[in-house]
Amino acid sequence: MAGATVTKNDILLKFVHAFEIVPSSEVEEKEEEEVEEEEEEEEEEEEEEEEEEEKKKKKKKKKKKKKKKKKKKKKKKKKKQVKEAEICRKKLL
């Protein structure tokens, strides 16, 4: 390579690569991609939060239904005991 001439283009290319000068269009594209990724992440987080809320509501509803069923069963049992007590009283009298 002795005697090879260095052109202005060679110097500019080395400068560009050394400092990673990127055309503005590429910078804008990268920024747009980053914004899109952030928006997607936010949407995913919102969806996860909604799913968690739905699970909590279902769990709460299920718990409430179970409690109501238990209360109804208890009431039915008490009513049965009262009936049996009346029958026993009648037999004794």
pLDDT on residue 79: 92
pLDDT tens for the chain, 93 residues: list them: 455 777 888 888 787 766 766 667 777 888 899 999 999 999 999 999 999 999 999 999 998 899 899 999 999 999 999 999 999 888 887
pLDDT on residue 27: 74
Q: Cβ distance 15 to 21 under 8 Å?
A: yes
Q: In a 3-state reduction of DSSP, which class is residue 20?
A: coil
Q: In a 3-state reduction of DSSP, which class is residue 35?
A: helix
Please count the residues of the chain.
93
By CB atoms closer than 10 A (0-12, 13-18, 19+), residue 83 is exposed
Supply 48's token pair. Answer: 């996860």
Supply 86's token pair. Answer: 């009346």
User: How far is the C-alpha of 31 from the C-alpha of 44, rounded, in Å?
Assistant: 20
| pTM of structure | 0.45
